[in-house]
Amino acid sequence: MASTDLLIEDGVAERQLALIRLNVGWLRQALALLVTINDEVFSTTPEGLAPHRVSAHLRHIIEFYECFLDGLYRLRVDYDARRRDASIERSRQAAMARILWLISRLKTEPALMGDSILFVRAEDARSLGLRDPFSMSSVARELMTLSSHTIHHFALIAMALRAHGVPVEASFGVAPSTLSYHARLAAGAEVA
């Protein structure tokens, strides 16, 4: 193996670990949230925000991760194949158990350490009438997608929580790049 090959492999492993840590961090945030809210806040829709329930968004996030992990060895990921398991929406304990399982899988799954090519099924491919609904992606790209997808749903969860009168950290559901941008703006404003 040439020395440049080793550098490339080291770079892939470093990136994969960073992406895994990022996603595990989001899931840990979800766990922390679940222990701070009650069952009513978890499972009911705030007035005027139907159908946005914390539980529905968390189930959706959980099942996206499950679809990704389920597709790793087949090299085909189908996010439309979500189970839509209502038990996750009824029980914070069920949601926490699934999140803990996801964290464990993300931290121990050997297939995540390489950046294999994956094929991802187009969302709602049937209604699009596609003969071949799968597009090429990679493990790293899908880990980035899961991170972005989770942040997006965290933002919706934050809206639901605020509508329930639950205080939410200003940074919850905000993309890291947006937080960095705001920090740079604040630092520039302080200098001026």
pLDDT for 57-94, tens place per residue?
999 999 999 999 999 999 999 999 999 999 999 999 99
Q: Nearest-5° angle of CA 72, CA 78, CA 81? A: 115
**Those residues with Cβ within 8 angstroms of residue 151's Cβ, 6 or more apart along the chain or in another chain:** 26, 173, 174, 175
Number of structural domains, the chain? 1
| pLDDT beyond 50 at 4 | no
Range of the domain at 67: 3-191
Burial per residue of 94-110, b for 16 or more beta-carbon CB atoms within 10 angstroms, e otherwise: bbbebbeebbeebeeee
Q: What is the amino acid identity at position 33?
A: L
pLDDT above 70 coverage of the chain, percent: 93
CATH number where 20 lies? 1.20.120.450
Retrieve residue 13's tokens. Answer: 């492993």
Average pLDDT for residues 104-124, to the nearest whole number? 94
- pTM for this predicted structure: 0.89
Strand segments (E) across 18-156: 76-77, 117-121, 134-138
Q: What is the mean pLDDT of the chain?
A: 91
Contact assessment for residue 170 and residue 149, using Cβ atoms and an 8 Å cutoff: no
- Strands ordered across the beta sheet of 134-138: 76-77, 117-121, 134-138
